[in-house]
């Protein structure tokens, strides 16, 4: 770059004074989901779930290292194992039971690294209530059980592991 180009560039974009600026990733952004907005979205998912198998979800955002989802359930889910992803649950509303460990009954591979089954046999049970956070590491069988008239709404973060 010649002297004139450097001088013009300095006038257009002066160098910052003070401590060096923190460089931001161009794709970096702040996402904020207020509880009221999430519960409003969950009301919509409730309607979808009523027309289907009792569960509905949506991906809120995808990031380089994880994704954020909103999930609503009025019925128990299938048992599952994610070989390469951990699930991090944050319960917003409702109640359910998480069964972890044990083995999957009727296990079948549905996609690469994704195994589904009818139930978890011999697992430990953990009650899920609003405000609870549950981390399910990759490779751990798990199943959400919803009983009676209960429902559960949660944020689920899919985090790559074992890749």
pLDDT 10s digits, 24-63: 554 567 889 999 999 999 999 999 999 999 999 999 999 9
Question: What is the C-alpha end-to-end distance of the chain, expressed in Å?
Answer: 43
Give pLDDT, residue 27: 57
pLDDT band at 114 (very low <50, low <70, confident <90, very high): very high
Question: What domains can be seen in the chain, in order of their start residue?
Answer: 58-163 (2.60.120.370)
Residue 116: strand pairing partners: 80, 108
Q: Spell out the residues 6+ positions from residue 63 whose beta carbon is closer than 8 angstroms to its own.
A: none
* Rounded distance between C-alpha atoms, residue 126 and residue 123, angstroms: 10
Provide the H-helix boundaries in 35-159.
35-51
Residue among 46, 35, 2 nearest 130 (CA): 35
If you average pLDDT over every residue of the chain, what do you get? Answer: 87
Give pLDDT, residue 162: 74
CA 57 remoteness from chain centre: 10
In Å, the largest CA–CA distance within the chain is 77
Does this model's pTM top 0.85?
no
CB atoms within 10 A of CB 55: 20
* Cα atoms in the Cβ-side hemisphere of radius 13 Å centred on 152: 25
pLDDT band at 89 (very low <50, low <70, confident <90, very high): very high
């Amino acid at each position: 770059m010649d002297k004139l180009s450097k001088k013009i560039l300095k006038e257009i974009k002066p160098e910052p004074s003070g401590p060096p600026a923190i460089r931001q990733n161009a794709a970096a952004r702040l996402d904020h989901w207020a509880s009221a907005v999430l519960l409003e979205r969950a009301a919509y998912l409730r309607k979808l779930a009523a027309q289907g198998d009792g569960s509905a979800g949506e991906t809120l955002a995808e990031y380089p290292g994880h994704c954020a989802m909103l999930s609503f359930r009025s019925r128990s889910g299938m048992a599952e194992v994610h070989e390469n992803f951990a699930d991090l649950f944050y319960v917003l509303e409702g109640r359910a039971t998480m069964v972890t460990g044990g083995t999957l009954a009727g296990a079948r591979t549905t996609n690469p690294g994704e195994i589904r089954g009818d139930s978890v046999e011999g697992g430990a049970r953990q009650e899920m209530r609003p405000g609870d956070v549950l981390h399910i590491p990759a490779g751990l069988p798990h199943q959400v059980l919803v009983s009676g008239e209960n429902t559960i709404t949660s944020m689920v973060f899919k985090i790559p592991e074992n890749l």
